[in-house]
Structure formats: structure tokens, C-alpha cells
Amino acid sequence: MTAGSVLEAFARVKSGGGGFLTNFYATPDIVDRWATRGSLRLLELEGAVLLLRRDQDFDHLSYAATDLPRLTEALRAPALAGDTLTADLIGRESDLGRVVGAFETAEFHRHTSLVRLTRMADPAFPDDYSDSQVVSGRREDGPAVQAFLARLLDRFAEQLPEVDEIEAAAERGNLLLERRGADLGGVLLFEATGQTAVLRYWFVNDRFRDQGIGARLIKTFFRTCRSSRRIVLWVIADNHDSIAKYGHYRFRPEGLVDHVMIRKGERLA
Amino acid sequence: MNRIEEVLKGIRPEFDFTKSQDFISDGMLDSFDVVTLVSELDRTYGISIEGTDILPENVQSIDAIRRLLRKYGVAP
């Protein structure tokens, strides 16, 4: 399967007339990376297409459909029976109710929800902030960083990065670390494109809490991304401690939510 | 402000879209925004942009969006 064949399948649904519902936002280069790994399955159905991307022992589901009944019917396709599936339904809360309902009709339930927070540039932030304890991660940190994140992330809601993604981030200077001997004290990984930076992961090792690691990491990140006009991130909606911490650093909800829907198959039920 | 700028401002009010020739590379629109933008253009101009036209290069600037709309018979 190629990225082109995936994109053409989604385009056929859009071109088929009627409406167009989707949760498929991946760019061609990302689809190409998935296709190269051989982790994709594509199901083309009447008025709908489903893309399944393998992740450990379950699949992430992306869809496009001409209308809700076609979507519900597609989600009940026999080819999906027995598989554990998750789907991210992203949008404004007011727009998502009917799609969430379609997934619930197909026996999915809401696993959790995330909210997107945005921080606009702070002209008062000092340009020369630096802290010698924060260092740039190296390529060879990839496996250790992935293992560190795997212990902390909700695997259904927060996608664990592949080692090669972490290595690439390190090469771009987008991986910040504090080391504590042979251990990682904290990790911050981000992406930056033009005027926007995306804070993907910011975690402190439980064993080294209350040592200022998180603050040093994020201030270094703000200095590194001082040319970004805005910074965005996703956080689990009921993680009030984290949201309060982000609020302290002037992140505010922008109104986008991600309802993570799940239908557990036989092996994980 | 013209209608295209209004649509863009409705999606990302924090940016000045008139100063960029590549909204994607400049970090002003992400992949989610692109899909939202196409839906908003459909709704605003009463058209249905084909799936094969939902490409970053078709919405990366105000001129590109204008060309895309012309293809659908809209004179923005």
C-alpha cells in the first residue's frame, strides 16, 4: 500500500457526492511513513473508507464517510470483528455529538478526552534564559526516552513515538533532557514549524520531583522557540493538575477537543 | 478584509494571513486546520471541493485559495 493509494481512497469518498465526514488529518509525508512501515490496512466500503494503523496490539482508526449511517455501517464491518480499535474524534464540542453517537451505536465507548491548549508568545520572556542542567538530547537517547515515555503515557490516548521519531527530534534539536546520573530526570520533546511549536511531551521522572526540573525544561523550551508566535499541546481533559500547571505558563483552552473512542476486541476485552 | 481572509481569521484569529505566501510552512495552518478550512470554503461559497483538491498547495496562500475557488466557478 502506498500513501497515494490511501489518499485516493479518501478522495473517492469526498468526490462521491453527499456529505463528507472525516477524522483523517494526516499529511502525505506522515501517511508515507506509516505505509513504509507496513502498518496500514485500508477498507473501502459503500460510501465510506476506513484506514487502520497498527500500534502494538491495537489499531488506530481513521475514517471518511458520506454520512452518519454509512459511517455506522462501516464501523460494523465484519472485517473489523475481534480487533481492538481506537479513534480520535477531533473538533469543537458542539460539532462532535452526532459522530460520537455514531461510534457509540457501533459499540465504541469514550475512553478519555483531550483538550488543546494554546500559548501565545510572551514578549516579556527573557531571550537569554539558560540553564546548564538542561541539555539537548542525542540520537542515542532514543530508546531510553521511548522507554521513559512508555511508562507514563496512556497508550490508547497519547501516541507513543517511535524510536526513529525521537532520534529525528534529537537531530533537529527538539529534544530537551535533564539527566540524573544514568537516569532521565525529565524529558521535553517538541516540533516547530514556522510560527507554531507543538509541545508533544513534557514529563518529569517521579523519582526526581520537586527539584525544578519541569520548570527548567519548559523555560528552556520557551527560549528555544522564542520565534514561535504560538505553542499548542494536547492534554487529557480531566488531568486537572497538568492543566493548572499549563495555565501557570499561560496556556489556555482554544476550544478543540479530541474524544478518544475505543472498542475492545476479544484479546483485550 | 475580504471573505477569504475572514474565513482564515475565523479559523486562526491570531495570525495575519496577508503577510504569508505559505501558511503551512509558516506554521499558521496545521493539517486539522486545512480540513476545517476546506469545509468552511464549501459552506461559505456553496461549493463542494473535491477530495483530490484537499492539498496543502491549494490552500497555502490567499492567491492559492483564490485559484482553487476559481476552479469551482467562484470569483472571490
Cell of A122: 510572551
Cβ of A22 and B25 within 8 Å?
A: no
Amino acid, res. B8: L
Interface ipTM: 0.73
A65 and B CB contact within 8 Å: no
Residue A214 belongs to what H/E stretch?
Answer: helix A213-224
pLDDT tens column, A119-167: 998 877 777 777 789 999 999 999 999 999 999 999 899 988 999 999 9
The contacts of residue B48 (CB under 8 Å, 6+ apart) are A20, B42
Which residues of chain B does A230 touch, with a Cβ-Cβ cutoff of 8 Å? 14
DSSP A177: E
Cβ of B28 and A90 within 8 Å?
A: no
List residues in chain B touching A: CB distance below 8 A.
14-15, 24-28, 30-32, 34-35, 39, 48, 50-52, 54, 56
Distances (CA, A) of A32 to A85, A86, A150, A216: 21, 21, 24, 36
**pLDDT tens digits for chain A (269 residues)?**
888 899 889 888 877 766 778 898 887 788 888 888 888 999 999 899 999 999 888 999 999 999 999 999 999 999 988 889 999 999 888 889 999 999 999 999 999 999 999 999 887 777 777 778 999 999 999 999 999 999 999 989 998 899 999 999 999 999 999 999 999 999 999 999 889 999 999 999 999 999 999 999 999 999 999 889 899 999 999 999 999 999 999 999 988 899 999 999 875 54
What's the whole-model pTM score? 0.86
Distances (CA, A) of B27 to A192, A220, B12, B13: 8, 21, 11, 13
Which residues of chain A does B25 touch, with a Cβ-Cβ cutoff of 8 Å? 193-194
Which residues of chain A does B32 touch, with a Cβ-Cβ cutoff of 8 Å? 25, 90, 256
pLDDT tens column, A231-243: 999 999 999 999 9
**pLDDT tens digits for chain B (76 residues)?**
699 999 999 988 888 999 899 999 899 998 778 878 988 898 899 988 876 777 788 999 999 999 999 999 988 7
Cα A191 → chain centroid: 12
Helices B3-11, B62-71: axis angle to 10 degrees equals 120
